[in-house]
Amino acid sequence: MLYMPLRPEAAVGLRSASKFTAAFGAVLRLGDPLMLVAGALLANWIRFGAPLLSQEYARLLVQTVVFALLVFSASPLYRSWRGRGLFAEAFQVTLQWGVVFGGVLLYMAALQLTESYSRLWGALWFGFSLAGAVGLRVVVRGTAAWVRSRGMDLRTAVIVGANPDAQRIVETMRRESWMGLQVEGWFATAADRSVLSGVPPLGRLDGLAGYVEDGRIDQVWIALPMREQGQIAYVLRQLEHSTAEVKLLPDLFGMQLLNHSVEQIGGLPVLNLRSSPLDGTAHAIKSAMDRMLASLILLLISPLMVAIAIGVKLGSPGPVFFRQLRHGIGGKPIEVWKFRSMRVHEEHDGQVTQARRGDARITPFGAFLRRTSLDELPQFINVLQGTMSIVGPRPHAMAHNEQYKTLVDSYMQRHRVKPGITGWAQVNGLRGETDTVAKMARRVEYDLYYLQNWSPWFDLRIILLTVFKGFTGSNAY
């Protein structure tokens, strides 16, 4: 037995992905490599008049497909494009195709293989496979529009405020059903003197947070005039513990925001007040760094992990690995892997007892693992799975999230990125037990600084600091 079975726990306020959205994503993930194969075969038939590839060309196709799968997995190619135009998605597909074929050309040039293949065949392959990938997305979008027009695969939204801009949102969402965005109703402020037609009123602002969580709302649209900054700030405070997207129409000046950005939804300019700092190119860069570094590190530390596994088994009866439910990006539950450092024991349902100095549950070998953070090494497997990053806010126990989200300002905003094996807080000495609100608030402060200032170089700096000073600490036990 290599892991401990998980106990079922309720994940409060979590939103599950639609089965249709998952199916559409699976079609694209499977379809793109198939388009590469189909494009190569069609190019071969046109260029050489043969339905099948020669052995040399087939070998290049296999290598290209494998490389493409790596590139696509680290790109925003399969992120949700709900509400955004086909042109933007087609541009992203073209960009990724350029990366793949550019990489293949560099590989061939380095090995002096360019003269061994037909340039016309290569150009036709690129064109046909790209056209197929774009065409596939047209079909998927059409299917999604048909599904959503029948009330399936919808994302729900509520509006705060009643003005002409809010009415435009309602009318746009009703007219453009392909977006799959359904406005459930609107909340009134004290300054509202009009109503929204076509959607029901949901009450005053003091009921917003409860409705968003109870109704599992995905988006909150704020349509308030600039002079109502106090009301806008009140809405943000109400939604401090929610992972719902918050959007403002029109734009906003003078407020402290979290990775705000401007985009268009159905032709309407909106401002994201709170969103992930790792979208688009940043997401691709960080994902690629995570997977490459995690693969290299796991290869290097595999003998050490085998030795630790033996030490865990000799230290006390039980499994080698310990799996815990934690909140990942967007508040979704993930399984975090560790080497077991405690004796096998039972806790009461819903209770999570943090390790303390001199904790009798910790084995002697486990104490060494915890002091040196070697118990965290299996989390590089989480990184390869895509549920964690090497650098990011450390994942806390789910019960602790429920406890501290009401005690520490902006606590849940740390879930807007993947949790990390190490983080800015950890390399600054904020490791181990958080037995006071002040300690947790300090850790969150460093986590939010990381979100606001992320860059690839910042990640590398944190990794280097972890190597030199982040493995041990007086609070790690």
pLDDT at 226 over 80: no
Highest mean pLDDT among 14-23, 129-138, 365-374: 129-138
Share of the chain above pLDDT 70, in %: 81
Kindly indicate the confidence band of residue 10, based on its pLDDT and cuts at 50, 70 and 90: very low
- The answer on pLDDT for 474 being more than 60 is no
Using the predicted structure, report yes or no on whether residue 355 has a pLDDT greater than 60.
Answer: no
Percent over 90 (pLDDT), the chain: 21
For residues 266-281, give the mean pLDDT: 66
Residue range 372-385: average pLDDT?
90
pLDDT exceeds 70 at position 255: no
Burial of 225 (0-12, 13-18, 19+ CB in 10 A): middle
pLDDT in tens, 67-87: 998 888 777 777 766 656 677
Residues 6+ apart with CB under 8 A from 276: 259, 283, 329, 416, 417
Average pLDDT over residues 123-143: 92
- Confidence category of residue 124, pLDDT binned at 50, 70, 90: very high
User: What is the C-alpha separation between 96 and 73, in angstroms, rounded?
Assistant: 11
Instruction: For residue 2, name the pLDDT band (cuts at 50, 70, 90).
Output: very low
Q: Is 214 exposed, middle or buried (0-12, 13-18, 19+ CB in 10 A)?
A: exposed
- Tens of pLDDT, residues 19-53: 677 788 888 999 999 999 999 999 999 999 988 89
What DSSP string describes 179-232? G-EEEEEEEE-TT--S--SSS-EEEEGGGHHHHHHHTT--EEEE---GGGHHHH
Q: Give the three-class secondary structure for 304.
A: helix
The pLDDT tens digits of the residues spanning 145-182 come to 787 777 677 788 898 888 777 787 788 777 776 677 88
Q: Which of the two residues, 308 and 10, has the higher pLDDT score?
A: 308
Residues 6+ apart with CB under 8 A from 32: 68, 72, 77, 133, 136
Q: Are 258 and 452 in contact (CB under 8 A)?
A: yes
3-state secondary structure of 1: coil
Per-residue pLDDT, 17: 44
pLDDT computed for residue 8 by the predictor: 30
For the ranges 14-18, 68-72, 379-383, the one whose mean pLDDT is highest? 379-383
- pLDDT of 271 strictly over 90: no
Q: What's residue 317's pLDDT?
A: 85
CA dist 128 → 76, 273, 337, 354 (Å):
22, 40, 43, 57
What average pLDDT does this structure show over 250-272? 59
Q: What is the mean pLDDT of residues 310-338?
A: 88
Return the number of other C-beta atoms located less than 10 Å from residue 82's C-beta: 18
pLDDT at 438: 86
| CATH fourth-level superfamily of 155-274 | NAD(P)-binding Rossmann-like Domain (3.40.50.720)
**Residue extents of the structural domains in the chain:** 19-148, 155-274, 280-470
Which of 294-298, 337-341, 343-347, 392-396 is least confident? 343-347
- The DSSP annotation for 355-391 comes to --TT-TTB-HHHHHHHHHTGGGTTHHHHHHHTS-EEE
Contact 68, 139 (CB under 8 A): no
